[in-house]
Amino acid sequence: MNIIQLYQDYNIEYLTEGNKHCAIGWVNAHCCFCEGEQNYHLGYNINENFFACWRCGFHPTRKTIAKLLNINEKAAKDLIKQYGGHIHQTRKPTITIRRKAHTLPSNVTALTSSHKQYLSRRGFDADRLEQEWGLVSTGPISLLDGISYKHRIIAPINWDGERVSFQGRDATDKHPKKYMACPKDRELVHHKEILYGKQSEWGTTGICVEGVTDVWRFGTAAFATFGIKYTPKQLRIMAKSFKRVAIIFDDDPQAIEQAYKLISELEFRGIEAWRIPIVGDPGAMKQSEASYLIKQILS
């Protein structure tokens, strides 16, 4: 479907680049399913022809067009055909990806002084993080499959004792994409099918957070779902790994809603779960405050 032409004809604001949620092959608009959303979370994959929101997940094409344009689904169906599209199945599409050898971007080194200063400004002990989490850094030139990972802190993602992926965090706070994941066909396991954390050191109580920096703040009891939108596979891992789960997401409405949804799904599986309300971003908390919370959760 020629989504760009449709958006232009119906005055739907969109982006194809210049925003952290935009990726190659996607056209992003404000999500009509997330109340008050103004951050271009809703993406349309122009190669596979489906909609997915960075916050709330996959949505059927006909339903999405109807809600975006405030029309009924019959009219949306006709419009999709008019713009050269097909009516997609209601289930999330299965995409077969040709896997390449897993590797980190080029020119990675130990954390440089500028990367350590960035972490220190955020209240982290850079030397400890480097040792405990295997962090490395990139300089002005760092590529993988033609994608630039320059000036980033690279966090390896390990699962079952093996590095299977990575995430790169911009250390300049100037790049529109704060986080960049490993290319999908370089991942041994897709990062949304696992959890980030010290798997071998988890106990019966886990602390569920959104991203890798949040895990660094809350330590080895924590795990991240790589965004507030979790997958069924991640949910099964949580239910298998923990008896109790405390959830610490951001304080925006979508994050709070997702936290309560996760609580319900964990409780349905017999796991004790509850939300810890905080102000702002967990990764931005003072370490003393996070350490206090950790003691309260694990006691």
Write the pLDDT tens digit of every residue in 24-72. 778 989 988 887 767 788 888 887 778 888 777 778 888 999 999 999 9
Residue 21, pLDDT score: 61
The C-alpha atoms of residue 285 and residue 219 are separated, in whole angstroms, by 13
Residue 87, pLDDT score: 58
Pairing state of beta strands 42-45 and 50-53? Answer: antiparallel
Query: In CATH, what number does 108-191 get?
Result: 3.90.980.10
Q: What's the average model confidence in pLDDT over 211-229?
A: 96
Residue 22, pLDDT score: 67
Q: Which residues contact 9 (CB under 8 A, 6 or more apart)?
A: none
Q: What's the average model confidence in pLDDT over 225-249?
A: 95
Share the mean pLDDT of the chain.
Answer: 89
Domain ranges of the chain: 3-82, 108-191, 196-298
Nearest to 227, CA basis, from 239, 209, 202, 242: 209
Our CA dihedral for 234, 236, 238, 240, rounded to 10 degrees, sits at -150
Where residue 93 falls among pLDDT bands split at 50, 70, 90? very low
Higher pLDDT, 252 or 39: 252
Which pLDDT tens digit goes with each residue over 162-173? 999 999 999 998
Q: What's the average model confidence in pLDDT over 118-130?
A: 96
Judge whether 216 and 283 are in contact, CB under 8 Å: yes
What CATH number matches the domain at 196-298, 3.40.630.40, 3.40.190.10, 3.40.1360.10, 3.90.550.10? 3.40.1360.10
The C-alpha atoms of residue 287 and residue 294 are separated, in whole angstroms, by 10
pTM value? 0.68
Q: Which residues contact 288 (CB under 8 A, 6 or more apart)?
A: none
DSSP assigned state of 164: E
Q: Which residues are paired to 52 by β-bridges?
A: 43, 58
**Is the pLDDT score of 14 beyond 80?**
yes
Phi, psi of 159 (to 5 degrees): -150, 130
Higher pLDDT, 245 or 279: 245
Q: Which amino acid is at 169?
A: R
The C-alpha atoms of residue 169 and residue 174 are separated, in whole angstroms, by 11
The C-alpha atoms of residue 182 and residue 229 are separated, in whole angstroms, by 18
Give CA 243 to chain center in angstroms. 24
